[in-house]
Amino acid sequence: MNLKQLSTMLQLSQTTVSRALNGYPEVNEETRRRVMEAAKRHGYRPNPSARRLATGKAGMIGYVMPTGAAVDIDPHFVEFLSGLGDYARGHELDLVLSPADAQDEETTYRRIVANKQVDALYISAPRAADSRIALAHQLGVQFIVHGRSEGLDFDYPYIDIDNEGAFHDATRLLVQLGHKRIALINGDDTQTFAIFRERGVRRALLESGLALDLRHIRSEVMIEENGYRAARSLLEASDAPTAIVCSSLIMALGVVRAARDLNLSLPGDLSLVSHDDVFPWLKPEHFSVPLTTTRSSIRAAGARVAERLAARISGLEDGARGEVWPVDLVVRGSIAGAR
């Protein structure tokens, strides 16, 4: 069933039917009702390719997905995706994933924009002065960044969580508990979220006259193994920290394992705070010692990104508003006063 068939069936022109369906004002309400009703009854659905060709709009949002043998998509992505899906589902928005060589994402960005395959895209895991953001900005495509970059000479729309504040607060709490040697096991420090987190820790320590010892910082891809290694090397050193702040629950698994291997008990010998992105399949309250966390749902962020993207597409939103979400600090058994 296409427009033509529907319109001859209704004894109307394609123009009128199209307008009736798309809510244009120059059509009689009674006619519109008839058209709407007939469309529904016959299950008419406009062909998206045709519409796309005519309007230049795609009705999809895009994501350039870095891939490659050396690239692991991390599990945060799937949670974010769930969130996107939650919103998109109700709005018949589809999501196009364009896999790109991690070494050369630019080509793919240019391709999908030139092809008008998507109306808007989102950019995740930004780095300092992120070139993808600059590119999207320059290409004039609608986009939203999940996270923030730094050192770009223009504003852009983003949503981010208050990484600095979260890690500041967590660290301050540890300091208040009497800890002096506090270590940070961070994610890949080319990513801005990691930079902000380090900044938060540093600021909290500074406020108490302490300083973040460079030897007490580790930055690695957030996998269990790296959490273990980092913790191990920190805890075996002579000036071992009495508290660790950790950027991910998955790394925290490694930290707990390291502590156990070294016969250190939580929170007696070591206090641990981790950031929690709220994975349904791994919860901080179900660690052998329930973990104190800074918590922010990455899934909720996904839904919000989709919502704003949709708003931008339909022209309800513009400008470069940044949105920063506060982060909960949830205290559980993994922290205690320093001995």
Partner DNA sequence: CCCGATTCCCAAAGCGCTTTAGATACAGCC
Partner DNA sequence: GGCTGTATCTAAAGCGCTTTGGGAATCGGG
* Subset of residues 13 to 42 that bind DNA, contact rule: CB under 7 A: 13-16, 18-19, 21-22, 26-31
Question: In the chain, where does DSSP find H-type helix?
Answer: 3-10, 14-21, 29-41, 48-55, 76-89, 105-114, 131-139, 163-176, 192-207, 224-236, 249-261, 298-313
Query: With binding defined as CB under 7 A, does residue 314 bind DNA?
Result: no
Give least dist CB 1 to DNA, A. Answer: 8
Where do contacts with a second copy occur on this chain (CB under 8 A)?
A: 45, 47-50, 52-53, 58, 60, 65, 67-69, 71-75, 77-79, 81-82, 84-86, 88-89, 92-101, 111, 114-117, 222-225, 228, 250, 253-254, 257, 260-261, 279-283, 286-288
Q: Could you tell me the two tokens for 175?
A: 């300091």
Long-range CB contact pairs, 7-10, < 8 A, 24+: 9/38, 9/42, 10/34, 10/35, 10/38
Binding of DNA by 54 (CB under 7 A): yes
Nearest to DNA of 52, 229 (CB atom): 52
The alpha carbon of 202 is separated from its chain's Cα centroid by a whole number of angstroms, namely: 24
Asked whether position 12 contacts DNA by CB under 7 A, the answer is yes
- Out of DNA, a second copy, none, what residue 85 binds, judged by CB under 5 to 8 A for its kind, is a second copy
- 298 touches 146 (CB < 8 A): no
| Interaction between residue 208 and DNA (CB under 7 A) | no
Backbone angles phi, psi at 310, to 5 degrees: -60, -40
DSSP 246: E
Report the residue number, 100 or 175, with the smaller CB distance to a second copy: 100
4-12, 130-138, 153-161, 190-198 -> range binding DNA (CB under 7 A): 4-12
Q: 234 with 241: CB under 8 angstroms?
A: yes
Binding site for DNA (CB under 7 A): 2-4, 11-16, 18-19, 21-22, 26-31, 44-47, 50-51, 53-55
